[in-house]
Structure 1
Amino acid sequence: MEGRSGMSGGDGLGAEAGVELGERATLVQFSTAFCQPCRATRRTLAEVAGMVEGVGHVEIDAEERLDLVRKYDIVRTPTVLVLDGAGRVVVRASGQPRRADVIAALGRAV
């Protein structure tokens, strides 16, 4: 997972998507219905979020939320955005992440 500066959602992504963000960090996954790697990514992110107190996991259907896809420059699924406690994007990655990479990315967010 790579760091990405300059993208800041503030509380925007949570409010725009109509979801509540985690207290310490949030793993936001953009998925599509027929994306096989999205299913595995969902399991990985849910597992990591369950291990770390104050971390939430949100999945957004990219086909239903084209406004967010455009705004956050989502070009493939799955794409994962790691938000800090203030809702700022601190890390983003495309493709199916490894559990260790997700844990490391969370370390940068909390």
Structure 2
Amino acid sequence: MGVVPEDGDERLTAEDLGGPLGERATLVHFSSAFCAPCRATRRVLGEVAGMVDGVRHVEVDAEARLELVRRLRVTGTPTVLVLDARGAIVRRARGLPRRADVIAALGAAV
């Protein structure tokens, strides 16, 4: 997983995600039904969100949310966005994440 810093201009809201943002940060995971690495990504992000207070994991079905996929320029699954408490995108990564990389990326958000 290559983690890329974002400029923080793009923000997501609870309405965009279909639920509340995390108190400190949100891990947004774009997935699709036939994506094998997406299942492992779900597990890793769920574990990290469970370990860090105030962090929420939200999975978005890329096929069902094409308008959001296009708006955010998501080109494949799994894609993970790390949001700060205000919903600003601070990191973006594509591919199966390693737990240590997710935890490090959260450091930029909290």
Query: If the TM-score is normalised by the length of the shorter chain, which range does it land in?
Result: over 0.9
Separation of aligned partners in 1, 2:73 and 2:81:
11
CA-atom RMSD, angstroms?
Answer: 1.0
The structure 1 segments of at least 4 consecutive aligned residues displaced by more than 3 Å after TM superposition are: none
* Shift of residue 32, structure 1, vs aligned partner: 0.0
TM-score normalised by the chain length of structure 2: 0.94
Give the aligned partner of residue 67 of structure 1: 67
Unpaired stretches in structure 2, ≥5 consecutive residues: none
Separation of aligned partners in 1, 2:62 and 2:14:
15
Separation of aligned partners in 1, 2:90 and 2:30:
16
* Shift of residue 20, structure 1, vs aligned partner: 1.0
Separation of aligned partners in 2, 1:84 and 1:17:
14
Separation of aligned partners in 1, 2:45 and 2:74:
18
Unpaired stretches in structure 1, ≥5 consecutive residues: none
Give the aligned partner of residue 30 of structure 2: 30
TM-score normalised by the chain length of structure 1: 0.94
User: What one-letter code is carried by the residue in structure 1 that aligns with 2:4?
Assistant: E
| Match for residue 5 of structure 2 among 3, 6, 27 | 3
